[in-house]
């Protein structure tokens, strides 16, 4: 059993991960009102992890951490990227990023690692979608 001080940062284990979207291809252009028909994006695409995190005190708890594209609600420009942000920022209630950060005393290392993993998948998915469109 871990005691306080035995670990210097929070740790985690991924229990599951999943990508899903309501739409197969979503044309961006500020969500179709900006007029740039060459820009495509991931739109409503979501990447979600179920994790089990252990904080510095040795407590363990499960969390749902979800990411969505940063361009999802950005109507100011047509942007086709794969950068992601916490889905909770876009009103996705299942995302427990804030609870995870509180549980880990605002240590962002778990969130940052999960975001990197999700953005890798997002870049591959965006490339696949563009290839599908161009074929």
Could you read off the pLDDT of 103-112 as tens digits, one per residue?
999 999 999 9
Q: Which two tokens stand for residue 67?
A: 């990411």
CB neighbour burial string for 39-76, b if at least 16 within 10 angstroms, e if fewer: bbbbbebbbbbbbebbbbeeeeeebbbbbbbbbbebee
Judge whether residue 75 has pLDDT over 70. no
Between CA 94 and CA 65 the distance in angstroms is 8
Of 67, 108, 96, 72, the closest CA to residue 84 belongs to 67
Judge whether residue 28 has pLDDT over 70. no
Q: Give the global pTM.
A: 0.78
Is the distance from CB of 129 to CB of 40 less than 8 angstroms? Answer: yes
Confidence of residue 62 (pLDDT cuts 50, 70, 90): very high
């Amino acid at each position: 059993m871990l005691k306080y001080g035995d670990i210097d940062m929070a740790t985690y284990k991924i229990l599951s991960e999943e990508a899903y979207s309501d739409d197969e291809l979503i044309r961006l252009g500020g969500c179709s009102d900006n007029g740039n028909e060459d820009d495509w994006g991931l739109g409503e695409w979501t990447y979600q992890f179920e994790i089990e995190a252990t904080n510095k005190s040795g407590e363990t708890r499960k969390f749902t951490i979800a990411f969505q594209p940063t361009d999802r609600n950005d109507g100011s420009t047509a942007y086709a990227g794969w950068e992601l942000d916490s889905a909770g920022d876009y009103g996705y209630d299942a995302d427990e990023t804030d609870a995870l950060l509180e549980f880990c005393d605002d240590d962002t290392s778990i969130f940052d690692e999960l975001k990197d993993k999700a953005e890798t998948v997002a870049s591959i998915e965006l490339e696949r979608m563009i290839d599908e469109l161009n074929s």
